[in-house]
Structure 1
């Protein structure tokens, strides 16, 4: 059986056909959805897992576990996910080259199934160590998925809807967070007796992807540029884009392949990309953007959300539902960003997002400072929470991944994703370790630190990054080259006279 799209489409089509949308779903359900789901699903059973660890420890050693050791065990279960993610990000690009984008995603599901099995068996076997191993494996799965899925989506998308297709990465991530929050409610799997089932549900997205993704083709760009398979590429393009768009997209790929053939095309390693001076600004950009995605204060907002909801008079038993509301809010903004990105462009959305986040940080600091002055201020704080999440979802939350895709050509893109993913996971680990101390030291004034980060990133994007909307990867690369040549083309002598450089 082969899926096909027979209806013709125009070359300037702004809406993906149904085959592209189904391929996006098939790739994302076992990719960034898994990451989002496993970030949020671990929160609901916290007290039940701690009780299980204490009970198991007592049965083994005939003594209650000390509070410090219990905290260490629980924090290890939670944080080992980031270690697995870092390892996954560091090998994801290599897998994408060796196995292909589609092949890597399919093989990656074995890790999720193994993780679900281990976490589900931890309670029946009385072995809490299986939770640690399971979380490590699902972190490894998430790290690989965060690296390979965006590669697949950007390489199967026509240039005219590349931004919209790329938004599938962040949209499914936020949907995963939302579904994880919903599944943890007491009305579903949030009861004590169901927590092993809740943690083992991570196998469901993996099984869905294993059933769906084989019906869709490998990345056309990978087939043509990496493997030299012209016929396979053309067949994949016809299936994904339809006959009308096939020739134009094929022409762009051939130009990129020919350009890279002149440069002795070979997929680069991360170290080769780091050493390549021609992509220095692109590399600096993805390092800054991926660091800022974790360090911009979004984690702090979620940390303070429970306190803000309590101050606003929401009963404690209703706060989990308010948290689900924040997840739904982020899903809506990710979808909205996807609808706007091909109209407003990447630069406007991400610059505007960081600018609005800076304003929200100032307002949130003020409302938290005067929390007890008037009953109005807790509700203003709630508005700031949702406004910050909206700003993040409309800009940095979605556009960062797309820019990481677009700033590099085929031979450097997998390595760039390995670097970006590693930076993202390291920043995630760093903020999870340091953030509690920042809060203790600065309280609500910690948002002034995040405001500074958001403002600096907004300024960098505005002055350095070119707009990438509706441009081929070669055109984007040439934009950076022209910007670099302009800077090199002029030097200033001691008297302030501007001279044309005599050599480049």
Structure 2
């Protein structure tokens, strides 16, 4: 054998050894980053191309399936929360709109059957206003109850309990017609229905903010407005054939099917990791052990390790591996928030410490005077202002009275008013998708400020059209349509979650509950006053919305920070800078 052949053989042997070493190295690395069965490491992006095509393809299929599952989990949660909160709110707010003439007639006829005397027109108007404001009044009690329930039975248990209350509320409303003259059943059913919606409105905001990644948090939360428009559209579509003296109770019943669907969807989602850490976390840190499991059901054997449960919930909602570095800051925030004692908002893990609880920070400025409390208080009240600004834009109130505005105030025929309300609701549905795609790109501030400015112009157009009369009734229609549509893709959508992005996680639940209560109190005053006043002074009643809207344009432009894709610490630093306070919160991670 020649020397040339010997050298060639030695080179081949050396190449085979190097190839085997590379295979072993890649295999070990791949196994280390897929120890939990959760896909390629986000930071390295390594792919074991040398361990065999069949094995690689099989493992990559598992990785792909797990990433899809994680994406599905956050979307299932978002849709379930939207059906249980936003959709129900739109349904409750609009269900009385189309058949308002038939229902007022039913109340009057029931009163005549009892007393042989009709109700005075002014009294009947007040009775109708009371029926409408049952919604925000009962919502307040539901929002206070939500904070208690979320702590005691968790976000998932609260959603299931509140959704279950929808069904008797709906059935009582529908049954009132057939138990005449007991029209009070309509009030009792609406109160129970609204109480449950108040619970779910707080629970939905808190749950999605706790679970959604910062990058898509705005998009997930903005879907509430889309489903609210969908709920409103369903009632308007049902109102066209059912708005008569015999069939108006049928408008309520289809809602039961949507309730059942939302409750079924909650069975497929994880509990909030924040609640897991608050109520179930072990005192000692648990080392996360390797597992080849691929679905949440196979992780039940780790039930004693609540730290692992919380991390798994975050991993599935965020669509990453259990060891992904992006979960570190979220877990620190959950641990810090869960470590507070009796509501004390002390969270050293996220760099936000205050010795006062949420109520003291918000309502006792003479006591909570430290810089941290001052910044958080300012942020919380900015959230209140944005919510109240939406109420005074008139979009929510006038949507509930759209048929009344077009028919009684605008001079359109009742059939034209019914179809006009339906068409506006139909157009409003796709418009609500605008913030879903743009709220994280354009930001919260531009959407809020521009939509509020357009709302002011729309209200002015409506007032002129109503005052002129039937000759300018088109202006009333255009003004109403513009008002409802611009708020659906602007302030109405952003106000649902903007306040929750301004406060630290440890104060999220009490602050959201309190902020929503202020919004409901404002709704009660506005919706109770508008209908009787509009019957007396006509178009001038829109000054109730026009003047405050002009004021809120300035305050939002000068005071509201941008929160898109920003951790709460960074937002609070922005507020501290505006207030010229010498305090800085660390901004690492997505807190």
Picking from 171, 181, 196, the partner of 1:117 is: 171
Picking from 185, 201, 219, the partner of 2:240 is: 185
Alignment of 1:65-144 (within 5 A): 65-67=118-120, 71=125, 73-126=127-180, 127-144=182-199
Deviation at 1:50, TM superposition (A): 4.0
Deviation at 1:297, TM superposition (A): 2.5
Deviation at 1:401, TM superposition (A): 1.5
In the alignment, does 2:275 pair up with 1:222? yes
Q: Aligned residue for 1:429?
A: 524
Picking from 451, 461, 475, the partner of 1:353 is: 451
Distance 1:145 1:65 in 2: 39
Deviation at 1:132, TM superposition (A): 1.7
Deviation at 1:262, TM superposition (A): 8.5
Task: Classify 1:103/1:192 alpha carbon distance in 2 versus 1 (closer, same or farther; 3 Å).
Answer: same
Confirm or deny: 8 A CA contact 1:38 1:202 kept in the other structure.
no
In the alignment, does 2:274 pair up with 1:197? no
> What TM-score comes out, normalization by structure 1 length?
0.83
Confirm or deny: 8 A CA contact 1:350 1:394 kept in the other structure.
no
Q: Aligned residue for 2:13?
A: none
Deviation at 1:359, TM superposition (A): 3.1
Deviation at 1:412, TM superposition (A): 0.9
Confirm or deny: 8 A CA contact 2:463 2:542 kept in the other structure.
yes
Point out the more displaced range, 354-363 or 312-321. Answer: 312-321
Q: Aligned residue for 2:498?
A: 403
Deviation at 1:18, TM superposition (A): 2.9
Q: Aligned residue for 2:47?
A: none
In the alignment, does 2:418 pair up with 1:320? yes
Q: Deviations over 1:242-275 (max 9, x none)?
A: 2359734421223324655887684666523423
> What TM-score comes out, normalization by structure 2 length?
0.72
In the alignment, does 2:548 pair up with 1:453? yes
In the alignment, does 2:382 pair up with 1:285? yes
Q: Aligned residue for 1:497?
A: none
- In the alignment, structure 2 segments of 5+ residues that lack a partner are 1-36, 44-66, 282-305, 346-356, 584-591
Picking from 439, 442, 450, the partner of 1:341 is: 439
Task: Classify 1:135/1:256 alpha carbon distance in 2 versus 1 (closer, same or farther; 3 Å).
Answer: same
Deviation at 1:312, TM superposition (A): 8.5
Q: Aligned residue for 2:79?
A: 25
Q: Aligned residue for 2:333?
A: 256
Look at both structures and tell me which one has the larger radius of gyration over its CA atoms.
2
Picking from 234, 255, 259, the partner of 2:311 is: 234
Q: Aligned residue for 1:412?
A: 507
Distance 2:127 2:526 in 1: 19
Point out the more displaced range, 236-245 or 102-111. Answer: 236-245
Deviation at 1:149, TM superposition (A): 1.0
Q: Aligned residue for 1:385?
A: 480
Deviation at 1:487, TM superposition (A): 4.7
Q: Aligned residue for 2:58?
A: none
Higher relative contact order (CA 8 A, sep 6+): 1
Deviation at 1:19, TM superposition (A): 2.7
Deviation at 1:460, TM superposition (A): 1.8
Picking from 282, 297, 301, the partner of 2:394 is: 297
Task: Classify 1:321/1:441 alpha carbon distance in 2 versus 1 (closer, same or farther; 3 Å).
Answer: closer
- In the alignment, structure 1 segments of 5+ residues that lack a partner are 490-504
Confirm or deny: 8 A CA contact 2:125 2:531 kept in the other structure.
no
Distance 2:248 2:425 in 1: 21
Q: Deviations over 1:48-85 (max 9, x none)?
A: 44444455445555x24434565555444333222211
Q: Aligned residue for 1:208?
A: 261
Confirm or deny: 8 A CA contact 1:92 1:148 kept in the other structure.
yes
Deviation at 1:217, TM superposition (A): 0.6
Deviation at 1:122, TM superposition (A): 2.8
Q: Aligned residue for 2:3?
A: none
